[in-house]
Amino acid sequence: MKPILRLLLVCGLTTLTSSAQAFDLWGSVKGLVGVDKSAEKPQEQVTPTQAEGAPLSPTALDTAPAVVDLDPATFAEKRMWPRDDLAAINKVVVGGFRVAFVVKAVASDSIRASYMPGGLHKSGVNSKIELTLAGVDLPRMQAIVDRAYQDFLAQLGRKGVSLIPYQDFAAHPSFTEISAAKQEDGKPYTVSHEGRTYIVLAPTGVKLWFDQAEPLGDQGAFGWNNGRRAADFGYDNKALILNPLMVVDFAETASGRNKGLFGVRNESDVEARAGMSLSKNLSVLQVRGRVAPIASAIMGGTVALKEQVLFAGRFGQLRMGEVDSNRGLVVGLALVGLSGGPVRTNQKGVMLADAGRYEEYAGNLLFSGNRLFARVMGDLYN
């Protein structure tokens, strides 16, 4: 093809980029909205800034699923769990209680560009969806945590676990040496991990602290201090120290790949849908104790949630904004043998939760996690 014709064709294709996308020839990032019960209900296409302050539509919301009894054989994974040694310590103090709320979820996928024999070009692809939680303020989250904490204490009592009051733990000399999670300028402890942003809260009047190498914590692989200082109390009172962490997520995200057109092969699709859940692996019960006077002789382990607990249902509206993509331009350039760089496709959305429904869903999920962890501790002594 002559250079002048190639130039004219490139200009024409660039002008028609938006039209090409309108015909959906090039595919798009998927923003799968709704959940199992209400996938047929329509969603409004608005920008995240519009959705932040917009009222919920009259679309019916779903009642939260009831609290469930989770089978430890299916949902509990015990790690470093010396049962006989732990069972010999027959008193327990809940020295901490943490709930991590996901407030932003980012799903992304990328495929590297490549060139096939004969000069056939395969464009790289970068796809991303970013979802933000709206409609639930910090006082509401704190109220959820406070109720979950009281329920956990009650569940332990029902399982016959002998409880020492938290006030006794807080009055011990070693308590002041337990490092609280950093909370700057009065803001809650916030951390990002593997595409999620979390706000982590402790009950009112309870210190927020992490043990060694917790993924959402601030202690690192060599952060032994907090566990050892908590174990000082355990040794003096012949007690185990519990510090559970439960993670509440508001969305499911995934990525997949399919084939596009005109040289854009193995196109990456990123999906997101609403769904309240307790996150597996991150949700854990930390147990610490010590029976020897040596500070480093701590024992214990963790009980991790090994399967996700998902509550399907509509607790708000997932509103997706416009897709921002350079796909049409890249494909157009590929048609004339030029490279336009990787395809970049981004979409932002807001999960505009109904505060009351969110509280019901999160509360029942946390109560379900409480029952699981309390049952594990009850089984330890029975």
Name the residue type at position 158: R
DSSP, res 181: P
- Residue 250 is predicted with a pLDDT of 95
Distance CA 373, CA 72 (A): 9
The string of pLDDT tens digits covering residues 2-21 is: 555 454 444 554 444 443 33
Name the residue type at position 17: T
189 and 219 in contact (C-beta within 8 Å)?
no
The separation between the first and the last C-alpha atoms of the chain, rounded to the nearest angstrom, is 82
- Residue 40 is predicted with a pLDDT of 40
- Residue 58 is predicted with a pLDDT of 45
User: Which DSSP string do the residues of 25-70 spell out, in sequence order?
Assistant: SS-------S-TTTTTS---B--HHHHHHPPPPSPPPPPPPPP---
Task: Provide the 10 A C-beta neighbour count for residue 196.
Answer: 21
**Structural Rg of the chain based on CA atoms:** 26
Question: Which pair of tokens denotes residue 210?
Answer: 């992490």
Distance CA 167, CA 370 (A): 21
- Residue 325 is predicted with a pLDDT of 57
- Residue 299 is predicted with a pLDDT of 87
- Residue 57 is predicted with a pLDDT of 54
List beta partners, residue 350: 132, 319
Strands 343-353 and 324-325: antiparallel
Going from N- to C-terminal start, the domains of the chain cover: 29-53+62-381
The string of pLDDT tens digits covering residues 195-248 is: 999 999 999 999 999 999 999 999 988 889 999 999 999 999 999 999 999 999
Chain-centroid distance of CA 160 in Å reads 32
User: Which DSSP string do the residues of 65-122 spell out, in sequence order?
Assistant: PPP----HHHHEEEES--HHHHHT--EEEE---EEEEEEEEEEEEEE--EE-TTS-EE
Task: Provide the 10 A C-beta neighbour count for residue 327.
Answer: 26
Dmax of the chain from CA atoms?
87
284 and 376 in contact (C-beta within 8 Å)?
no
Distance CA 313, CA 275 (A): 7
- Coil, helix or strand for 271? strand
- Residue 43 is predicted with a pLDDT of 41
pLDDT per residue, tens digit, the chain (382 aa), is: 555 545 444 455 444 444 333 322 222 223 222 233 333 444 443 333 344 445 555 467 999 999 999 999 999 999 988 888 899 999 999 999 999 999 999 887 655 555 555 444 455 556 788 999 999 999 999 999 999 999 999 999 999 999 999 999 999 999 999 999 988 888 999 999 999 999 999 999 999 999 999 999 999 888 899 999 999 999 999 999 999 999 999 988 766 544 444 444 444 566 777 789 999 999 999 999 998 888 788 888 999 999 999 999 999 998 888 776 555 555 554 554 545 455 567 889 999 999 999 999 999 999 999 999 999 999 999 8
- Residue 223 is predicted with a pLDDT of 87
Name the residue type at position 18: S
